C-alpha cells in the first residue's frame, strides 16, 4: 500500500510516479528445472494434439478467401515506386535484447555504418514481418503481452505510424496449439505499434515493382497442410512471369538438420523443395528464416540469397557449425556470419562457468549428488580411496534402491546425448554419467574425511549426516554444472553436437540482428543486415510522449549502436 502522501497526491490529480526501470523479464534460463519441465510438457501436448487436430485446417475453413494483401498501390490506387520493410525473427525473450531490437526498428530513420565507416541512411519499414518464435519459452496470452506486445509498444511510442504487421509462427508459437498466435496476429487487431491483416497463419503480400512477400507455416511436424498448398497454388497464378519472391520460413531448411539432428530431408527440406519446384518455381530470389539465433547469409552465383536472421531477442546460437558444407545448400556458399566463427568458438568457452549462468541448475545438481550419496551411504570416513570405492560399489550392487538411482542417471544422460553422435550416442552418455557418478563419489569421500576430522561422532549420527549433506550439496552445486559445461563444450567444439544446448545454457543477450529491406524505384531489392554487438543493460524513461517509453541510459558505455553487419546486399 502507498503512503498517505501518495494517496493525497493522486487524489489531487498529480501524476503517478514513473517507474525507474522497465518492468521486463530476464533471458529465459533454459537449464532451470521448472522451465525445462513446463516447456517439455507443453511441447509434448502440442505435438500430440497437432498430429490429431491441425489448427490450420480450421483456420482455412474460417477464412476461405485466397487474396493477397496489396501494397503495390497506395491509398489513391496509384502504383508505388518503392517500399521499406523490416524483418525481425525470434523475439519475445529477455527485455534488454528484445527492446533493443524494437527500439532500433522503431526509429523513423536509422543511419547505419558499415565496416568501412561509410554511412547508409535507412527508413523505418511500413511493413513489419515477425519471422517466427514471437515469444519464449512458450506461447500464451500473458507471455505475448509481457514479452512481445509490451516492449514493442513501448519502443514504437511516438515514433512513426503503426506498421502493417505480418507474422510467421515458429515452434514456440505452436506450443499452445497456435491459439494465442491466431488471437494476436490473425484477427485484424490494431495495437499501439502495428496493424495486423492476415487471417491465417500464412500469408501473401503483393509489393511494388513485381516483388512478393510470402510467409509459410510448417507447424511442429514441419509439414505443409493441403489447404496451405492450395492457397499458394492460387497465389502462384497471380504472380507474373518476371515477378520475384521473398519467402519467409520459420526454420532454415538449409541449416536446420545440422543443428537439430532429429530433422531429416523427409519433412522440412522436402517441403521447401516442393514449394520451390512445384508451386513457386525459381521466382524465389530471397529465402528468409529464423529459428537459429544468429545472422548467416548464403548466396549463389545467380544472386539468390538464403539468409538466417534469428536475432530479434532470443539467446545466441553458434555460427562455427556446421563444419562441413550442408548438401541442401548445393551451389550456395556462406558469405557472412554474425558473430564470426572465431568469436562464436570463443563464446562457447563460457560453458566452463555454467553454474554462474544457471544457479538453479546448480541447486538441482547439488540435490542429485546428495541423493546419490544418501542412496550409497556407507562408512568410508576412515577408508582409503580404493577401499572406499570398493565398499560403495558393493553397496550399489547389493542394494536395489542404490542400483536404480545409478541406473536412472546413466539412462537419463544416454537419452540426453545428441542424436548427431549416431551409434556412439550410448557410449557418450555412459562416459558423461560415469563422470558425474565419479564426482559424486569423490565429493562424498572427501566430505566424509573432512567430517571425521571436524566431528568426533559415530557414523549415522544427526550432526554428522547434516554436515555431510551440506558439504556434498555444495560440492554437487559446483561440480555438477562444471562437468555438464565441459561435456557441452567438448561436444560442440570437437564433435559438432549439442549446439542448441551449449548456447541456450549461456543465454547470451548480445549479437542481435534484424533485416531492413528496401524495394527501390528501379526494381532492385536492397537488404540491410543490421547488427547490435552489445545491447544496453540500463534504461531511463523517455522525457516526452514523442519519445519511446524507455531510452538507453548513456552511462551504459559498453552498449553499442546498431550498425551494418556487412554492406547492403542488392538483388
Give me the residue label for grid cell 541423493: 371
**Angle at CA 152, nearest 5°, toward 148 and 158?**
160
The domain boundary, picked from 446, 463, 498, lies at: 498
Confidence band of 363 (pLDDT split at 50, 70, 90): very high
426 and 459 share one domain: yes
Lowest mean pLDDT across 191-200, 259-268, 479-488, 522-531: 259-268
Give me the residue label for grid cell 513485381: 210
Q: State yes or no: pLDDT of 263 exceeds 50.
A: no
Provide the grid cell at 387.
Answer: 577401499
Residue 109: inside a domain: yes
- Determine the average pLDDT of the residues in 201-207: 93
Residue 245: inside a domain: yes
Mapped onto helix, strand or coil, the DSSP state of residue 493 is helix
Lowest mean pLDDT across 24-28, 83-87, 264-268, 339-343: 264-268
The pLDDT tens digits of the residues spanning 423-453 come to 889 999 999 999 998 888 888 878 877 777 7
Q: State yes or no: pLDDT of 102 exceeds 80.
A: yes
Domain that holds residue 492: 353-498
Q: State yes or no: pLDDT of 457 exceeds 70.
A: no
pLDDT at 528: 97
pLDDT at 241: 87
- Determine the average pLDDT of the residues in 502-531: 95
Look up residue 47 and give its DSSP letter: H
Are 349 and 488 in contact, with CB atoms under 8 Å apart? Answer: no
328 and 282 share one domain: yes
295 and 402 share one domain: no
Q: Dihedral, CA atoms, 111, 113, 117, 121, nearest 10 degrees?
A: -40
Residue 247: inside a domain: yes
Provide the grid cell at 161.
Answer: 505510424
Are 169 and 217 in contact, with CB atoms under 8 Å apart? Answer: yes
Q: State yes or no: pLDDT of 12 exceeds 50.
A: no
Residue 417: inside a domain: yes
Per the model's pLDDT, the better-predicted residue between 420 and 453 turns out to be 420
Confidence band of 5 (pLDDT split at 50, 70, 90): very low
Are 528 and 112 in contact, with CB atoms under 8 Å apart? Answer: yes
169 and 255 share one domain: yes
Q: State yes or no: pLDDT of 537 exceeds 60.
A: yes
pLDDT at 262: 44
Confidence band of 461 (pLDDT split at 50, 70, 90): low
Give me the residue label for grid cell 521448472: 34
Residue 20: inside a domain: no
Percent of the chain whose pLDDT exceeds 70: 82
448 and 543 share one domain: no
Are 134 and 87 in contact, with CB atoms under 8 Å apart? Answer: no
- Determine the average pLDDT of the residues in 517-527: 95
How high is the mean pLDDT of the chain? 83
Q: What is the DSSP string of 433-445?
A: HHHHHHHHHHHHH
- Determine the average pLDDT of the residues in 382-395: 61
The domain boundary, picked from 439, 473, 498, lies at: 498
Instruction: Please enumerate in sequence order all residues whose Cβ is within 8 A of that of 384, keeping only pairs 6 or more positions apart, or say none.
Output: none
The domain boundary, picked from 474, 498, 522, lies at: 498
407 and 518 share one domain: no
Are 134 and 89 in contact, with CB atoms under 8 Å apart? Answer: no
Residue 236: inside a domain: yes
Q: State yes or no: pLDDT of 72 exceeds 60.
A: yes
301 and 395 share one domain: no
Are 303 and 285 in contact, with CB atoms under 8 Å apart? Answer: yes
Per the model's pLDDT, the better-predicted residue between 46 and 317 turns out to be 317
305-309 and 284-289: which strand pairing?
Answer: parallel
300 and 437 share one domain: no
Are 69 and 203 in contact, with CB atoms under 8 Å apart? Answer: yes
Residue 503: inside a domain: no
330 and 390 share one domain: no
Highest mean pLDDT among 51-55, 257-261, 471-475: 471-475
pLDDT at 280: 82
CATH of the domain at 169: 3.60.21.10
pLDDT at 331: 84
Nearest one of 244, 344, 349 to 295, comparing CA atoms: 344
Q: State yes or no: pLDDT of 367 exceeds 60.
A: yes
- pTM of the full predicted structure? 0.88
Highest mean pLDDT among 165-179, 322-336, 373-387: 165-179
Per the model's pLDDT, the better-predicted residue between 268 and 337 turns out to be 337
Domain count, the chain: 2
267 and 374 share one domain: no
Q: State yes or no: pLDDT of 252 exceeds 70.
A: yes
423 and 285 share one domain: no
The pLDDT tens digits of the residues spanning 128-146 come to 999 989 999 888 889 999 9
Q: State yes or no: pLDDT of 122 exceeds 90.
A: yes
Residue 556: inside a domain: yes
Are 529 and 513 in contact, with CB atoms under 8 Å apart? Answer: yes
Q: State yes or no: pLDDT of 315 exceeds 80.
A: yes
pLDDT at 401: 66
Q: State yes or no: pLDDT of 398 exceeds 70.
A: no
522 and 489 share one domain: no
The span from the CA of 571 to the CA of 286, in Å, is: 8
Burial 98-117 (b: 16+ CB within 10 A, else e): bbbbbbbbbbeebebebeee
Per the model's pLDDT, the better-predicted residue between 20 and 112 turns out to be 112
pLDDT at 344: 95
Confidence band of 51 (pLDDT split at 50, 70, 90): low
Q: State yes or no: pLDDT of 32 exceeds 50.
A: yes
Amino acid at each position: 500500500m502507498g503512503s498517505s502522501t501518495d494517496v493525497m497526491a493522486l487524489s489531487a490529480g498529480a501524476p503517478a510516479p514513473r517507474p525507474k526501470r522497465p518492468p521486463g523479464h530476464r533471458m529465459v534460463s533454459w537449464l532451470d528445472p521448472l522451465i525445462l519441465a513446463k516447456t517439455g510438457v507443453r511441447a509434448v501436448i502440442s505435438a500430440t494434439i497437432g498430429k490429431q487436430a491441425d489448427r490450420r485446417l480450421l483456420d482455412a475453413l474460417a477464412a476461405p478467401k485466397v487474396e493477397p494483401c496489396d501494397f503495390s498501390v497506395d491509398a489513391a490506387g496509384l502504383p508505388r515506386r518503392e517500399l521499406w520493410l523490416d524483418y525481425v525473427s525470434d523475439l519475445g525473450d529477455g527485455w534488454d535484447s528484445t527492446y533493443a531490437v524494437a527500439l532500433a526498428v522503431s526509429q523513423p530513420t536509422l543511419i547505419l555504418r558499415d565496416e568501412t565507416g561509410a554511412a547508409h541512411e535507412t527508413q523505418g519499414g511500413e511493413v513489419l514481418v515477425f519471422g517466427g518464435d514471437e515469444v519464449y519459452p512458450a506461447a500464451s496470452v500473458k507471455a505475448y503481452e509481457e514479452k512481445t506486445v509490451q516492449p514493442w509498444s513501448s519502443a514504437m511510442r511516438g515514433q512513426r505510424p503503426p506498421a502493417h504487421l505480418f507474422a510467421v509462427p515458429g515452434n514456440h508459437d505452436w506450443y499452445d496449439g497456435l491459439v494465442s498466435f491466431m488471437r494476436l496476429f490473425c484477427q485484424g487487431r490494431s495495437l499501439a505499434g502495428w496493424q495486423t491483416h492476415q487471417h491465417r497463419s500464412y500469408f501473401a503480400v503483393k509489393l511494388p515493382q513485381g516483388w512478393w512477400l510470402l510467409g509459410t507455416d510448417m507447424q511442429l511436424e514441419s509439414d505443409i497442410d493441403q489447404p496451405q498448398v492450395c492457397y499458394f497454388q492460387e497465389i502462384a497464378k497471380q504472380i507474373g512471369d518476371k515477378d520475384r519472391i521473398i519467402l519467409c520460413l520459420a526454420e532454415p531448411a538449409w541449416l536446420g538438420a545440422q543443428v537439430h539432428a532429429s530433422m531429416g530431408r523427409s519433412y522440412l527440406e522436402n517441403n521447401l523443395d516442393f514449394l520451390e519446384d512445384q508451386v513457386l518455381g525459381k521466382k524465389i530470389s530471397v529465402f528468409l528464416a529464423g529459428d537459429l539465433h544468429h545472422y548467416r547469409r548464403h548466396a549463389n552465383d545467380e544472386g539468390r540469397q538464403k539468409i538466417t536472421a534469428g536475432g530479434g531477442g532470443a539467446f545466441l546460437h553458434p555460427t562455427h557449425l556446421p563444419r562441413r558444407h550442408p548438401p541442401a545448400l548445393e551451389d550456395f556458399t556462406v558469405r557472412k556470419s554474425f558473430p564470426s566463427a572465431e568469436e562464436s568458438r570463443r563464446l562457447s568457452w563460457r560453458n566452463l562457468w555454467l553454474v554462474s549462468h544457471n544457479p538453479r541448475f546448480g541447486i538441482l545438481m547439488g540435490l542429485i549428488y546428495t541423493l546419490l550419496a544418501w542412496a550409497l551411504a556407507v562408512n568410508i570416513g576412515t577408508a582409503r580411496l580404493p577401499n572406499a570405492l570398493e565398499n560403495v560399489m558393493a553397496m550399489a550392487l547389493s542394494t536395489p534402491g542404490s542400483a536404480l538411482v545409478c541406473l536412472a542417471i546413466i539412462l537419463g544422460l544416454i537419452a540426453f546425448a545428441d542424436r548427431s553422435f549416431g551409434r556412439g550416442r550410448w557410449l557418450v552418455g555412459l562416459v558423461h554419467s560415469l563422470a558425474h557418478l565419479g564426482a559424486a563419489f569423490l565429493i562424498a569421500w572427501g566430505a566424509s574425511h573432512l567430517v571425521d576430522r571436524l566431528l568426533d561422532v559415530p557414523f549415522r549420527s544427526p550432526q554428522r549426516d547434516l554436515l555431510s549433506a551440506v558439504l556434498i550439496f555444495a560440492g554437487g552445486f559446483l561440480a555438477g554444472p562444471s562437468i555438464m559445461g565441459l561435456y557441452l563444450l567438448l561436444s560442440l567444439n570437437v564433435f559438432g553436437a549439442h549446439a542448441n544446448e551449449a548456447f541456450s545454457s549461456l543465454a547470451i543477450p548480445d549479437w542481435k540482428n534484424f533485416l531492413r529491406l528496401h524495394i527501390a524505384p528501379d526494381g532492385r531489392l536492397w537488404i540491410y543486415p543490421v547488427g547490435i554487438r552489445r545491447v544496453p543493460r540500463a534504461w531511463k524513461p523517455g522525457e516526452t510522449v514523442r519519445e519511446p517509453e524507455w531510452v538507453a541510459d548513456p552511462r551504459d558505455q559498453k552498449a553499442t549502436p546498431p550498425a551494418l553487419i556487412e554492406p547492403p546486399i542488392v538483388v
